[in-house]
């Protein structure tokens, strides 16, 4: 089964069908409307460690689609959202429950570490 990629210009962008590209405009709605907790990956395309974490985040999203919603925020293009949550280093992952940030992980971690950190296993 081949996965279809959604282009950058479509609303509610999706990476690998399970990770939503969030913007300053769509962020709060996505967090507030999610029935599940939400993990948000704050990243930038030029960031080497972000490129390492990206596939791990996508794996987590696919493996736990019933437990968690996953989104990505490009900090270069969405500076207001990054500033709102005090993002000073990337990659930074934040877990939101009931619309509020409850856990922050900074830097590269293994899939298993992130699953334990976000209580998915």
Based on the residue annotation, tell me whether 47 is a catalytic residue of this protein.
Answer: yes
Q: Is the CB of residue 60 less than 8 Å from the CB of residue 120?
A: yes
- 3-class DSSP assignment, residue 61: helix
Distant-in-sequence, close-in-space partners of 68: CB < 8 Å, separation ≥ 6: 36, 37, 38, 39, 60, 61, 118, 120
Based on the residue annotation, tell me whether 76 is a catalytic residue of this protein.
Answer: no
Catalytic residue among 6, 14, 44, 47: 47
Q: Is the CB of residue 34 less than 8 Å from the CB of residue 65?
A: no
Catalytic residue among 19, 38, 50, 82: 50
Active-site positions?
47, 50
């Amino acid at each position: 089964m081949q996965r279809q990629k959604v282009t950058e210009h479509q609303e509610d962008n999706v990476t690998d069908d399970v990770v939503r590209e969030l913007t300053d405009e769509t962020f709060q709605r996505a967090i507030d409307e999610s029935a599940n907790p939400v993990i948000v990956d704050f990243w930038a395309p030029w960031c080497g460690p972000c490129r390492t974490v990206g596939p791990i985040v996508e794996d987590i999203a696919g493996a736990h689609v019933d437990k968690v919603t996953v989104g990505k925020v490009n900090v270069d293009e969405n500076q207001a959202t990054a500033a709102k949550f005090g993002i000073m280093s990337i990659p930074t992952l934040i877990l939101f429950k009931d619309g509020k940030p409850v856990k922050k992980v900074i830097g590269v971690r293994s899939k298993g570490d992130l699953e334990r950190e976000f209580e998915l296993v």
